[in-house]
Chain A
Amino acid sequence: MSSTMNTGEQIPAIQTLRRGLHHSPELKRGFAVTLLLAVLATAGNVVVPIAVQQTIDRGLTSPTGPDVDFMVRMGLLAAAAVLLTSLASYGMISRLFRTAESGLATLRIKAFRHVHDLSLHTQNTERRGALVSRVTSDVDQVSQFLVFGGMLFIVSIGQMFVATVIMIWYNAWLALVVWLCFLPLFLSLRYFQQKLSRAYGVVRRQVGVLLSAISEPVVGAEVVRAYAIEARTQQRIDEAIDRHRQASIRAQGFLAFSFSLGGISGGLANAGVIVIGIWLGFADRITPGEILAFAFLVSLFVMPVQMGTQVLTEAQNAIAGWRRVIGILETPADVVDPGDQGSSLPRGPVDVRFDRVDFSYHDGPLVLRDLSLEIAAGTRLAVVGETGSGKSTVAKLLTRLMDPVSGTVYLDGVDLREISGESLRRSVVLVPQEGFLFDDTLAANARYGKLDASDEEIIASAAELGLGDWLAGLPRGLQTRVGQRGESLSAGERQLVALLRAHLADPDLLVLDEATSAVDPFLEMRIGRALERLMSGRTSVTIAHRLSTAENADEVAVIDAGRLVQRGPHADLVAQDGPYARLHASWVAQHGHV
């Protein structure tokens, strides 16, 4: 019943826009006003060409002679128009930034939240880095387009529209000449844009290769040094650097070429306007001022053509980014929290029942088959089995990180799927293999278990777990910064913090997926003792990677190839001729314990 992350790739462009507006309603707010301001602002661009025409026809070549009074009046009026349209520009740009950024902040936050609402399994269908970029750089790309490219697009279209209207008003034939000069370019924009976006696609891929090559001598410094492979590493880096450089230069070339074409069309249009304008002038169908106004109006066409390929590329990237973000929001959550509709578990040790549970990842083979298992309240159960036997899946089903494909898991007789998320998280706590810590203080990490825990409470909890002297031994105590992913602490210490966190959470059912492989025996025993204390008075299920854990449990369940094959106390199982006895013999051979 698990789903894959929606890539959003199949959403059509128009649908993307519609879904995007649906998820960020802020974008629609006041759009009419912004558009009105945009029209006013672009209209401002034709003030100067009209003023030039008026100057020549009425100021300079008027039959009644040059008219200075008219010029001053016209100049003041035009200046007022320029100032007014500047104000409109200010309003348009600042509104555009405000609505775009507010809308996209909302979208980002919604998508971030939705990622956490998806099951781990769905999350894992995409690399972490890719998931992060969906709520960061993909959204940035949309924002970039809305406030720059998008604005440029609106202004350009508006500008060309207004210029065309005025040209037609002056002379429709000359307007046609101008359009004929630019039309081939407009039509080929798409072609250039495709070439350009392919070229930049290559650049982006090369950036990825480059970054990964550069990270080798940094992240893998020890290996490079130990095997003395500096020359080979440098060669790989140099190749990546060269390929990236070539790709960048090639893309830059395309961009320069497509950019330069606008000016050529402009020159052609100017020549055409003057030659055909004079010819029309003989028929008294146009004035000299109008011809010259065209030269100024043509310049309004040049920029949109020059920037066209870039804007189209930005638009394409923005749509793609938008799709990926929307893709997250439209990925159905496969583990649905019943919320307030769900039931609440009473406090106190929980009894657990697996009833004919099957599980598989996607459409893969069954990882658990027909598993039925009862765990009485207050029991300490160890689940053992070889790597890949499905024992970790038991922990994930118990904590509802995933739901069974068929069958049911009951806590205190209630179907796990019908328990509200809040109640479930209060009653059931998983201590995972890797005690993930956040880059913060030790205290802040412990508080993940109980948000309002005071420092005294944390210290008391640590003492109860027998970790008092360890905590006291840290120079900065609870204020110790744990570093990224807790890497300033040793693997064993991270495990201790995770246990402390679980103890503060005070669960009724504790699920432990233990992993203490990198810990020396002393620390491991300390963790073992802390665990013992943590488990007392609760139901606990331990996924045991070391058989010493199983020996200490009340009961052992042995999983093999997804099936429950043995069940009972350690002493009984070790005496039977079965899988457990074999696992145990191998363990003893390793650790020399008889």
Chain B
Amino acid sequence: MTGTDALGVGRTRATTMREGFAILGVAIRREPKVFAVATIGSLLFGALTVADAWVLGWATDHVVLPAFRDGRVDTSLLIAVVALFVGVALLRAAGIVARRVGAGIMQARMWSHDRRDLTRQYLSLPMEWHQRRPTGQLLSNANSDVEAAWGPIAPLPMALGTVAMMVIALIQMLLADWVLALIGILVFPMVIATNIIFQRVVSPLMTRAQALRAELSEIAHESFDGAMVVKTLGREDEETRRFAEKAHQLRDTVVRAGRARAAFDPALAALPELAVLLVLVVGVSRVLAGEIEPGAVVTVAYLLTIVSFPIRAIGWLLGEFPRSVVGYERIRSVLEESTRVDYGSETLARSGPGAALSLDQVGFGYSPETGLLDDVSFDIAPGSTIALVGATASGKSTLTALVGRLRDPDRGRITIDGTDVRHLRHGALAAATAMVSQSAFLFEDTVRGNVTLGGDFTDEQVWEALRIAQADGFVAALAHGLDTELGERGTSLSGGQRQRISLARALVRRPRLLVLDDATSAVDPEVEARILAALRSEGAAATLLVVAYRKATIGLADEVLFLDDGRIVDRGTHADLLTRNPAYAELVNAYETEEPA
């Protein structure tokens, strides 16, 4: 969660290594079959890579050198050479495919498992949990953290196969000649160690580069988003300077990582090459002393050449560990969260006359120190229209969130038709009531999908809801009408259009209680007036609770609840409150008091 974790600082290498293997253990237990296929493929590849060297050595001793010595060769031997080389190559290719496809499937499945689990958590954890976490963090948990956590799966089978290959190669070297094998015993660990050091040097730099890329992208995003301000205030130079500074930091970090790579890459290539030269020199003197056949020299030299490259996979695996451990822990912290919204078993009548809403001594605060709502009690009769009026931050939106059960009160209770909303089963509240907030969220779906949300409604019902929300006109003008795709978060529409679609979404359900939290703020006053008029005539049966500023809206209400600093300070008709409550009068008359005489 913090920046230090990202770099693996404050965590010893031994723990990272242990935790990294433990995470791989989780994946292996979850997908044992695919893992087995990948590992067998990799072992096959490893064994056959070594076999290739053996075939070459055998061909040297039994085919090539005798042929040159004797001036003739057995056709059966030549067929054997071809069969061996081609057979080994084919099987090896099969091993590669099994290894890579297996690792790919295993990794993709682990991504899927975690993404499913994470999104299930997102859907079941309460709103207060959501509000404590930045959106970006939750998105990256399900995206980059999942990818980082299972990053080591890709090189895992290769690394396991390499270990096997190394062991077989060493045995084969020992069988060929113990003196030459000693060189291999020394060189393999050196290659592994060099590679691990390289990963240790380079992976913090890569992490840093990744973080800088994110920062650079944030700057560009913000700067382009604020282009109007940048342009109208002539701040292009300053913005470019800000962007250039980050771009240069990124460049320097990548160049440093590049320099590390420049030093280690040739070293990793040179180590086995020098070892091969040593094998050739020592090997010739051993042949001269009559201790070994020339084929042994060729075999050991070839083994060193072909095994030393795959050995790097061990370094790739260990290099992924720090990122993996951090990603995995972030995912776990979400998955281990166990707070749930408790639902009861009661239901509400789905259709029929308006619902009765009642709040009884309700208190609520987002944190213990800041009480937001205090001792709020009121009853709303079925079918009535109530305006909730109050200054900014007086607690209006919080109150509507409590009624829609996006939050539960700290004290007191909220009942609908006499049933405590906490005793309703999941979905019961949504079936009988609807809430529309100021920020209209649209799904990446069609207009129809956004209105029905998968519910069973006819096109006539959808058009009817759009008509009441005054959205039928512009929807009809869209290229594909109800089937028009709205794009991510409905960006193709204006704010007012988005609000009207989200209002239609509530209306199509014919709710018995409709809560509008400043839901038409981005709509022209004239359009708003038409919406409200339509609501009054069509949805007359429903109980309506409206958070409002505009006098026209307030004027439509049967009664007004005046909220001030978290308390209901007055209740009555608009006309009554205007005459008896100076604070109310001052708030709703603010336009007039500003009028020039």
Q: Which of A61, A90, A216, A248 contacts B108 (CB 8 A)?
A: A248
Contacts of A66 in B (CB 8 A): 284, 287-288
Cα distance A134–B372 in the bound complex, in angstroms: 45
Q: Confirm or deny: B467 has a beta carbon within 8 angstroms of a beta carbon on chain A.
A: no
B582 within 8 A of A: no
Most chain B CB neighbours (cut-off 10 Å) among A222, A387, A522 = A222
Give the segment of A7-15, A269-277, A319-327, A453-461 that binds chain B. Answer: A269-277
Considering only residues 85-142 of chain A, those with a C-beta below 8 Å from chain B are 85-87, 89-94, 96-98, 101-102, 104-105, 108-109, 112-113, 115-117, 120, 123, 127-129, 131-133, 135-137, 140
Contacts A101-B251, A520-B587; is A277 near B280 (CB within 8 Å)? no
CB within 8 Å of A: which B223-247 residues: 223-236, 238-240, 243-244, 247
Q: Does any Cβ of B come within 8 Å of A83's Cβ? A: yes
Q: Does B36 contact A (CB under 8 A)?
A: no
For B429, the closest partner residue in chain A by CB is A228
CA–CA, A116 and B230, complex, Å: 8
A residues 211-262 touching B (CB-CB < 8 Å): 211-230, 232-234, 237-238, 241-242, 244-245, 248-249, 252-253, 255-257, 259-261
In the complex, whether B266 has a CB less than 8 A from a CB of chain A is: yes
CA gap between A233 and B393 in the complex, in Å: 32
Min distance, Cβ B429 to any Cβ of chain A, angstroms: 7
CB <8 Å contact, B86 and A521: no
Q: Which residues of the partner chain B approach A79 to less than 8 Å between Cβ atoms?
A: 274, 277
Contact partner of A226 (CB less than 8 A), chosen from B235, B391, B435, is B435
**Which of A48-56, A308-316, A361-369, A411-419 faces chain B?**
A48-56
Number of interface residues of A (CB under 8 A): 164
Are B438 and A229 in touch, CB under 8 angstroms?
no
Cα-based distance from A234 to B491 in the complex (angstroms): 23
CA gap between A592 and B592 in the complex, in Å: 9
Distance (Å) between the CB of B578 and the closest chain A CB? 10
Chain B hits for A586, CB < 8 A: 525-526
Residues A587 and B119 in contact, CB atoms below 8 Å apart:
no
Query: B473: CB under 8 A from chain A?
Result: no
| B236 touching A116, Cβ below 8 Å | yes
Distance A217 CA – B454 CA, assembled complex (angstroms): 15
Per the bound structure, the CA–CA distance linking A386 and B258 in Å amounts to 59
- A551 adjacent to B596 (CB under 8 Å): yes
The stretch among A168-176, A288-296, A371-379, A573-581 that forms the contact with chain B is A288-296
Query: For A83, what are the chain B residues with a Cβ–Cβ distance below 8 Å?
Result: 270
Q: Is the CB of B124 within 8 A of A230?
A: yes
- In the complex, what residue of chain A is closest to B444 when comparing beta carbons? A212
The reply to whether B231 and A401 contact each other, CB–CB distance below 8 Å, is yes
Q: Flag if A214 contacts B127 (CB, 8 Å).
A: no
Q: Is B26's beta carbon under 8 Å from chain A?
A: no
Interface set, chain B 94-110, CB cutoff 8 A to A? 94, 96-97, 99-101, 104-105, 108-109
B206 within 8 A of A: no
Contact of A432 among B223, B228, B525 (CB under 8 A): B228
B222 within 8 A of A: yes
In contact, B63 and A274 (Cβ under 8 angstroms): yes
Question: Are the CB atoms of A214 and B96 closer together than 8 Å?
Answer: no
Q: Mark A398-418, 1 if CB is under 8 A from B, else 0.
A: 010100000000000000000
Residues of A within 8 A of B227 (CB): 115-116, 120, 123
Q: Does A165 sit within 8 A of B, measured CB to CB?
A: no
- Which residues on the A side are within 8 Å of B68 (C-beta)? 61, 278, 281, 287-288
What is the chain A residue whose CB lies nearest that of B523? A517
Interface of B is mostly: helix
Q: Does B204 reach chain A (CB closer than 8 Å)?
A: no
CB contacts (< 8 Å) of B502 on chain A: these are: 223
Rounded to whole angstroms, the CA-CA distance of A98 and B253 in the bound complex is 11
Q: Given A292-B64, A490-B392, answer yes or no on A131-B224 (Cβ-Cβ < 8 Å).
A: yes
The answer, among A68, A93, A113, A430, for a CB contact under 8 Å with B232, is A430
Decide if A97 touches B549 in the complex (CB within 8 Å). no
> Do B235 and A448 have beta carbons less than 8 Å apart?
yes
> Would you call B552 and A592 a contact (CB within 8 A)?
yes
> Is B238 in contact with A451, judged by CB distance below 8 angstroms?
yes
In the complex, chain B residues 133-192 whose Cβ is within 8 Å of any chain A Cβ:
135, 138-139, 142-143
**Once bound together, how far apart are the Cα atoms of A241 and B529, in whole Å?**
44
Pick the residue among A275, A292, A520, A590 that contacts B529 (CB under 8 A).
A590
Contact partner, A288, options B65, B301, B401, B453, Cβ 8 Å = B65
Give the residue name and chain of the A residue nearest to B401 (CB): A222
Asked whether A116 lies within 8 Å of B266 as measured between CB atoms, the reply is: no
Asked whether A266 is an interface residue with its Cβ less than 8 Å from the other chain, the reply is yes
- Which residues of chain A are within 8 angstroms of B116 by Cβ–Cβ distance? 237-238, 241
Could you say which of B59, B127, B250 contacts A274, with CB atoms under 8 Å apart? Answer: B59
Whether A17 sits at the interface, judged by CB under 8 Å, is no
B60 at the binding interface (Cβ < 8 Å): yes
The reply to whether the CB of A156 lies closer than 8 angstroms to some CB of chain B is no
Give the residues in chain B near A271, CB-CB below 8 Å: 81-82, 84-86
The reply to whether B139 and A267 contact each other, CB–CB distance below 8 Å, is no
**Cβ A281 vs Cβ B124 within 8 A:** no
Taking a contact as CB atoms under 8 Å apart, the answer to whether B280 and A71 are in contact is yes
Known A268-B89, A436-B228; contact A237-B119, beta-carbon cutoff 8 A: yes
Using Cβ atoms and an 8 Å threshold, which residues of chain A touch B73? 278
Question: In whole angstroms, how far apart are the Cα atoms of A348 and B118 in the complex?
Answer: 61
Select A132's contact among B81, B224, B265, B267, beta carbons within 8 Å.
B224
Q: Which of A51, A225, A244 has the most CB of B within 10 A?
A: A225
**Nearest residue, chain A, Cβ from B272:** A48
Nearest CB of A to B445, in Å: 8
B305 contact from A217, A244, A274, A296, Cβ within 8 A: A296
Q: B478 interface residue, CB < 8 Å from A?
A: no
Q: Nearest Cβ in chain A — how far from B310, in angstroms? A: 12
Instruction: Check B277–A548 contact: CB distance below 8 A.
Output: no
**Is B489 a contact of A219 with CB atoms below 8 Å?**
yes
B-facing mask of A427-447, CB < 8 A → 1, else 0? 011101000111100000000
Tell me whether B112 is interfacial, beta carbon within 8 Å.
yes
A428: chain B residues at CB < 8 Å are 232
The chain B residue sitting closest to A515, CB to CB, is B522
Distance to closest chain A CB from B435 (angstroms): 5
**Alpha-carbon separation in the docked complex, A82 to B278 (Å):** 13
Q: How far is the CA of A501 from the CA of B229 in the complex (A)?
A: 10
Determine whether the beta carbon of B551 is less than 8 Å from that of A295. Answer: no
Are B591 and A521 neighbours in the complex by a CB distance under 8 Å? yes
Closest to B225 in A: A128
* One of A338-346, A350-358, A523-531, A557-565 contacting the partner: A523-531
- Report A223 CB to chain B, min CB distance, Å: 5
> Which of A501, A505, A522 meets B587, CB within 8 Å?
A522
Min Cβ gap A141→B in Å is 12
Beta-carbon contact of A234 and B120 below 8 Å: yes
Chain A residue contacts of B101, Cβ below 8 A: 249, 252-253, 256
Q: Which one of B212-220, B323-331, B359-367, B378-386 is at the interface?
A: B212-220
Option from A48, A252, A263, A429 in Cβ contact (under 8 Å) with B276: A48
Flag B578-597 by CB within 8 Å of A: 1 or 0 each: 00000000011011111110
Q: Contact check, A212 vs B488: say whether CB atoms are below 8 A apart.
A: yes
A437's nearest neighbour on chain B, judged by CB, is B226
For B90, give its contact among A92, A129, A264, A424 (CB under 8 Å).
A264
Residue in B92, B255, B266 whose beta carbon sits within 8 Å of that of A86 in the complex: B266
Confirm or deny: A78 has a beta carbon within 8 angstroms of a beta carbon on chain B: yes
| A276 nearest in chain B by CB position | B78
CB distance from B5 to the nearest CB of A (A): 22
Report yes or no: B594 in contact with A528, Cβ–Cβ below 8 A.
yes
- A211: chain B residues within 8 A (beta carbon): 139, 143
B85 touches A590 (CB 8 A): no
Contacts A257-B97, A425-B232, A485-B222 known; list 11 others, CB within 8 Å. A48-B273, A101-B255, A112-B239, A112-B240, A112-B247, A116-B240, A267-B89, A448-B229, A520-B549, A524-B590, A552-B596
Give 5 CB contacts A-B under 8 Å.
A112-B243, A229-B454, A260-B93, A425-B233, A437-B226
- The 8 tightest CB contacts between A and B, nearest first, are A267-B89, A97-B258, A425-B234, A252-B104, A521-B590, A256-B100, A93-B262, A228-B430
